[in-house]
Structure 1
């Protein structure tokens, strides 16, 4: 197991002292932030089109010469790992006549990707390597006709990309130091599933920015594992890092041994704008949020485990954990609560939402959203 960072140890030490105290004042978030079509358009233009975005764990592409189509962010994308092991995010579009190069959503493994229309072929680094009847394209510069690559950065077991050529991935490297402590880059992808949630994407982020709901919403599932209110959090740029102590291991919170602390703490990383990494003691969930409308978001959940199951008993163990968390806690409880919240906000019953002192992470997140929208004039609702 890798060494923890100072920040991770600091959160553990604060948990050992009882966690953060519920101090401060009540704050509010305008209901329109979740329901306005104009706000959704502004967030797409001012945040998702500009910010570095997590798109997948490195484990989605465990071998060289692999590619996975991805349509969640509004454009046809292609994640690829070339023969040298480097990760890329391309537009999934042939440079000949604009045909979608790879269909579906499953991983493919091949040294070349061949367009289904005219069979132009590309290496996994995006370079054009072949075309039928090359003599009929006199003077064509193959080097200038590779796949369109978007800025891509792989660090600490996550693949990031951006639509903006000027995007800065420095904070991804800072987060990567934390993720190396969990050996995230060496995890095995056990399962992935995309949920279509009828709620604003920020309601999903809100749910993972506070522990106030755990004993209430999750009373029948994971609540018994945690002590109410024993949590703490801090920030890495616009990203947040939180920790919750597990009820059965509270005495271990004062330990200096990283393996002991890992068994006592669930760490969660809320990566701005829309990704969540939940690090349980024995497995990891990455959720990537892809807003589709003011009241709809796709959430792709990846479950990562230390190694491929070696036995049927091991596989059954991980299947049980997967269904408990992805199908039960996340889908049936967190996401369903967000959908019910969206329905309530759409009714107009509330002008604003009220946040208590255990929900300060939500306040910080919305402040970060507002700060990035400030320079972008929002479009008007029709």
Structure 2
């Protein structure tokens, strides 16, 4: 039981979430797998990473951050970790935009820093060209010196984006297919993610391949061992099931002994006995704990270096010291303990070992089938790009 009372509005899980919960209740493992292998070079070959970058990270829709990071109109957030200078804004009507953070005059970076700021107008620090948060060029000094300039043609360059299920997605490529993002959004709406409050975020630098980080969240084989001193005991008797939403994986771990008296159609009750996890392509993870939600976004910088931004969302901002202490301990346990000291450390150790060439292929047991399926999805994206 949580140390803080959290009251959720009555919500019903989606049919897909409910189906996984009923699989667990019936002790039916939908994600059962056979022993398989994954070649080690997919983690260690710089050329393979360049192919992934071109086919996946430069082409597919991907999450930037939770909606809760920009809760109000007139907000802006510089974002550089995808390898391109982005600027996420929320305009006066509450709509989200993703622009290149580049002034149309001389290419100057428009907004500096890495924090969210209040910005009803965006003023270039070089020549004071001024834009609205919806991207329109509003004004410039000495307009008479630009007699042929049409302000309507010189707004900020906008990239395709969508806000759904409490998450902000963008795509580097024109005319993207956001249908799977919208489908996932149905689950995230059922979890109430769009109504959560931003509590903490941290950018981790992990010296490992992005897929090694994903692997830890695609199997339960390691949980009671790697996490023996942290969250492992909570999953000791767990039963798992999983399915796919397009290229994205959805998993569920339930505790059978606690499910008998639970109304599975009630989201609040369901979240107390079943832990869902979403492993998205490209690398992103959504982990709804019983009383908060973690969003982790992976932004590879090289074949052996990944930036991971972790966000913690909570149902209401703390009003008491007791509540604040509860959330701080939860944040310290997961972000500083389970993720940084355990999962991310394991990825770095794996990168070190695989880089020696000692293990030409990874052997995956029947509890690690999610890894094989995720790698098949990556390989399919690479084939589609050829």
TM-score by length of 2: 0.95
- Identify the residue that residue 189 of structure 1 maps to in structure 2: 198
Give ranges in structure 2 of 5+ residues lacking alignment. 1-8
The 5 A counterparts of 1:1-382 are 1=9, 2-20=11-29, 23-228=32-237, 230-246=239-255, 249-252=258-261, 255-376=264-385
Cα displacement (A) at 1:248:
7.4
Q: Distance in 2 between matches of 1:337 and 1:113?
A: 42
Q: CA deviation at 1:286?
A: 0.1
User: How far apart are the structure 1 equivalents of 2:263 and 2:35?
Assistant: 31
- What secondary structure, in the 3-state scheme, does the structure 1 residue paired with 2:285 have? strand
Whole-Å separation in 1 of the counterparts to 2:241 and 2:362: 22
Moved more, 366-375 or 188-197: 366-375
225-234 vs 212-221, which moves further: 225-234
Native 8 Å contact 1:87 1:153 kept in 2:
yes
Deviation at 1:18, TM superposition (A): 2.7
SS in 2 for 1:83: coil
Question: Matches of 2:212 and 2:355 in 1, distance apart?
Answer: 13
In 2: Cα distance, 1:192 partner to 1:315 partner: 15
Contact 1:239 1:272 in 2 (8 A): yes
CA shift digits 1:333-373 (9 cap, x unpaired)? 00000000000000111110011111111111100100111
**Distance of 1:376 and 1:165 partners within structure 2:** 15
Is 1:224–1:247's contact at 8 Å kept on the other side of the alignment?
no
| TM-score, scaled relative to structure 1 | 0.96
* Aligned-residue offset at 1:251: 3.9
Structure 1 residue 228 displacement after superposition: 4.3
**3-state DSSP of counterpart to 1:89:** strand
* Conserved 8 A contact 1:243-1:267: yes
CA distance in 2, matches of 1:95, 1:226: 53
Q: What secondary structure does 2:71 align onto?
A: coil
Q: Distance in 1 between matches of 2:261 and 2:79?
A: 42
Please, which moves more after superposition, 2-11 or 17-26?
17-26
Give the length in aligned residue pairs. Answer: 377
Whether the 8 Å CA contact 1:16–1:253 is kept in 2: the answer is no
Which residue number corresponds to residue 380 of structure 1? none
Instruction: Tell me the CA shift for residue 25 of structure 1.
Output: 2.3
SS at match of 2:236: strand
Structure 2 Cα separation of the partners of residues 47 and 258 of structure 1 = 33
Deviation digits for residues 191-239 of structure 1 (CA, Å, limit 9, x no counterpart): 0000000000001111111111110100000011113451111110010
CA contact (8 A) 2:18 2:264 kept: no
- 1:324: how far off? 0.3
